[in-house]
Amino acid sequence: DRYVGGQLNGRHFMFLSRVALLNPFYTSKSHDGLRRPPCVQGHFDDPKYSPCDHARYDSVVVNCTDTDPDSKFKFREFVIYDKHQCYPEYLIEYTRKYE
């Protein structure tokens, strides 16, 4: 529950979702502001240039780097760019034993 925000009367909520990653791009560094995944040739969109015409990955998987203590990625992250790749299956309500 890394990104679970505030609570309501001591209760927390999160969605358990099924996500289709399809053909993911794997990375261990931040790509802030990425509006769509890189192309299969490894090109990232640059606002100064026109985007390339290569096929694109379907998602991005950011692997945590335990060796870098300053890394903001302490947990594995899955990023999708098409809402049809995600199905929020359950809304889970819980309380934490220790806050």
Beta-sheet strands, E only, within the chain: 12-19, 24-27, 59-62, 77-80, 86-94
Contact 9, 85 (CB under 8 A): no
The whole model's pTM is what?
A: 0.75
C-alpha 45/C-alpha 47 separation (Å) is 6
Residue-wise pLDDT tens digits, 19-70 = 999 999 998 877 777 888 889 998 888 777 778 889 999 999 988 766 666 6
C-alpha 64/C-alpha 36 separation (Å) is 21
DSSP 11: B
Residue-wise pLDDT tens digits, 89-98 = 999 998 887 6
H/E element holding 17? strand 12-19
DSSP 3-state assignment of 84? helix
DSSP 3-state assignment of 56? strand
